[in-house]
Amino acid sequence: MTGILFTGGGGAGNEAIYRLWKDKYNLYFADADIDGIAPAIPQDRQFSIPLANHTAFSESLAALCRESGVDVLVPGVDEELPKMRTVQALMEKVRILVPRAEFVSSTLDKLEAARVLEKAGIDVPMTAPLNLDSIAAFEFPCIAKPKHGRGSKGLRIITSQKEAACFSDLCSISSEDYIVQELLKGDEYTVLVAADSQDRLRATVPVKVGMKRGITISGEVVDDSAIVEYCQRIHEGLSGSACYNVQLMKTNSGRIAAFEINPRVSTTFCLGIMAGVDPVDLFISETSGPGLLPIRTGVSIRRHYQNEFDG
């Protein structure tokens, strides 16, 4: 049975991944905060690892993979992704479900991601560094957010030139690196994109977001050929590989534009599994055929909270 280790083990979707795949794969989950891993995951499947910025991170993660008989490593934390080359060099046979380094570096930087998408002829919201000169080209309201970041952390809606000036001054004082982005109105989608071992696009799972609080709280897998075609263009234009996540808006006029690309699995990875897609099997199989796989639409997710007490 193939062994799979997910980092970011305390993520919202991992309890579901364990429940859906526990009879198919040997599953392990690692996190710098092991107490954040869902109690539904057995303790012998939980591991503590250093933070990505720790000098022992790469060796510790590689050693854990070797000792646990891991065949596939699935990183789930942005800060870990630039370290994956080093981790890979420490392991002979373990494969890492992450796009190539060039794709990772260009998409982790939200400003660079907008530039490379635009260069590939793919529609994106207008995006620029946050300063008084650049913001003059934007209509209000617009969005200010960190150039590097995740989970909507630090995101702010800017409603006026005066507010933009104040926020820009604050960012300069704190040395925060922000961008400003066109605010599109419409429906938000989070899309799982999965390729096979030869980098051929095999699955695209569009999820229409119902509620979001940093992560998707509720959403539904939908059949939308325009979104599928848009993500195919991203995969071809940016030389996509492995598995990654596209966050986009579809406006009332039908415009589709990606506002972020996460070069890793997202918290809605579990919904992709429910839709009938197995990105790990696609990634490691040498017999995968061409063409997009059919997906199960109408599958939805609704996240709830569980309270655990000690003492």
Query: ω before 141 within 30° of 0 (cis)?
Result: yes
Q: Which two structure tokens, joined as six digits, stand for 130?
A: 């946050």
Task: Write down the pLDDT at residue 81.
Answer: 98
Q: Where are the beta strands (DSSP E) in 68-149?
A: 72-74, 95-96, 127-129, 142-146
Mean pLDDT of all residues in 18-42: 97
Task: Write down the pLDDT at residue 289.
Answer: 73
Task: Write down the pLDDT at residue 174.
Answer: 54
Q: Which two structure tokens, joined as six digits, stand for 72?
A: 């596939």
Whether 107 has a pLDDT exceeding 60, the answer reads: yes
What topology is assigned to 3-96 in CATH? Rossmann fold (3.40.50)
Tracing tokens 């942005």 back to the chain, one arrives at: 78
Q: How far is 245 from 268, CA to CA, in rounded Å? A: 9
pLDDT band at 288 (very low <50, low <70, confident <90, very high): low
Sign, CA torsion 121/125/130/135: positive
Whether 242 has a pLDDT exceeding 80, the answer reads: yes
CATH code at 126-182: 3.30.1490.20
Task: Write down the pLDDT at residue 153.
Answer: 77
Q: How far is 196 from 279, CA to CA, in rounded Å? A: 8
Of the candidate ranges 193-207, 244-258, 259-273, 277-291, the one whose mean pLDDT is the lowest: 277-291
Residue 184 · residue 258 · CB < 8 Å: no
Assign domain 103-107+185-302 to its CATH superfamily: ATP-grasp fold, B domain (3.30.470.20)
Q: Highest-confidence range of 56-70, 147-161, 281-295, by mean pLDDT?
A: 56-70
Q: Under DSSP, is residue 256 helix (H, G, I), strand (E, B) or coil?
A: strand
Of the candidate ranges 126-140, 203-217, 240-254, the one whose mean pLDDT is the lowest: 126-140
Return the amino acid letter for 311. Answer: G
Task: Write down the pLDDT at residue 170.
Answer: 67
* Mean of the per-residue pLDDT values of the chain: 94
Whether 122 has a pLDDT exceeding 80, the answer reads: yes
Q: How far is 254 from 310, CA to CA, in rounded Å? A: 50
Task: Write down the pLDDT at residue 200.
Answer: 95
* Sheet architecture: strand order including 142-146: 127-129, 178-182, 142-146, 156-158
Maximum Cα–Cα distance across the chain: 59
Contacts of 105 by beta carbon, 8 Å cutoff, 6+ apart = 82, 112
- Give the residues across from 71 on adjacent strands: none
Tens of pLDDT, residue by residue over 177-199, are 889 999 999 999 999 999 999 99
Whether 175 has a pLDDT exceeding 70, the answer reads: no
pLDDT band at 284 (very low <50, low <70, confident <90, very high): very high
Task: Write down the pLDDT at residue 172.
Answer: 63
Tracing tokens 């959403």 back to the chain, one arrives at: 219
Domain ranges of the chain: 3-96, 103-107+185-302, 126-182
Cα 23 to its chain centre, rounded Å, is: 25
Residue 12 · residue 267 · CB < 8 Å: yes
Whether 130 has a pLDDT exceeding 80, the answer reads: yes
Task: Determine what percent of the chain is predicted with pLDDT higher than 90.
Answer: 82
Fold agreement between 3-96 and 103-107+185-302: no
The H or E element that residue 18 is part of is: helix 14-21
- Going by their DSSP bridges, the two strands 46-48 and 72-74 should be labelled as unpaired
* Surface-to-core class of residue 54, CB atoms within 10 Å of its CB (0-12 exposed, 13-18 middle, 19+ buried): exposed
Tens of pLDDT, residue by residue over 134-174, are 888 999 999 999 998 776 777 889 998 888 887 777 676 45
Q: How far is 99 from 113, CA to CA, in rounded Å? A: 14
Mean pLDDT of all residues in 37-42: 96
User: Rounded to the nearest 5 degrees, what angle is found at the Cα of 195, between the Cα atoms of 217 and 103?
Assistant: 80
Whether 230 has a pLDDT exceeding 60, the answer reads: yes
Q: How far is 123 from 107, CA to CA, in rounded Å? A: 15
Tens of pLDDT, residue by residue over 209-224, are 999 988 999 999 999 9
Task: Write down the pLDDT at residue 177.
Answer: 86
Q: How far is 103 from 65, CA to CA, in rounded Å? A: 24
Q: Under DSSP, is residue 111 helix (H, G, I), strand (E, B) or coil?
A: helix
